[in-house]
Amino acid sequence: MALEIKLICPFFCSKDHAVDLMAHTINLAAHDGLKALGSDTGDTSTPVDHDNLNPMAISSLTNPPNGLNLQYNSIIGKISQLASYLRHSPQRREKFITVNLVYDTDKPTNAKTLLLQVPTQWNSTYKLLNRALDLKDAYNHFCTPNSLASYRLSHLEWEKAIVMVLFLQPLYEENLLICIGAI
């Protein structure tokens, strides 16, 4: 992006101007957006009045019509915890990769596994969710045993993960443009 600005305005110097502030603003928007998406208290004892629910309110995203009050951060947490669980054992990681190879028939040599989340980098959340969606079938199969039930995601949770990726994707792409252009 800085290079594009320099073409339009020859005296622009990315080192002297606030290109880094644009990237920082995008990071803040991503953090605030994720915080807003996961801001619901998760209290399922209080019924949600869907007749008077504003469809533009962020609560309409965190409170599904069935009243489950899914938390976005719990979805991220489950995926992140499974990624960590896999990383702590080469045998588990190999088993997950083997399961993935069964489901990923398009690329039989593709040895993908889940990515870890770095709490200080919002784009790692995007990468974690995007990879989990890419490995959804393998993820679901791997979590079939009861010992891994705590990592399972319901159909509705997968839908919420898609919403998070759709929210973060344009921010991620713009941040890449800014960071690459500032070099």
Nearest CA among 160, 111, 169 for reference residue 135: 111
Say which range, 74-78, 99-103, 152-156, has the weakest mean pLDDT: 99-103
- Predicted TM-score (pTM) of this structure: 0.70
In this predicted structure, the answer to whether residue 37 has a pLDDT above a threshold of 90 is no
H, E, C per residue of 18-36: CHHHHHHHHHHHHHHHHHH
**CA separation (Å) from 120 to 27, 108, 163, 182?**
10, 34, 21, 21
Structure confidence by residue, pLDDT tens digits, 122-178: 788 899 999 999 999 999 999 999 899 999 999 999 999 999 999 899 989 888 877
- Only one residue has tokens 């709490």, namely 119
Q: Which residue has the higher pLDDT, 51 or 8?
A: 8
Question: Is the model more confident about 44 or about 142?
Answer: 142
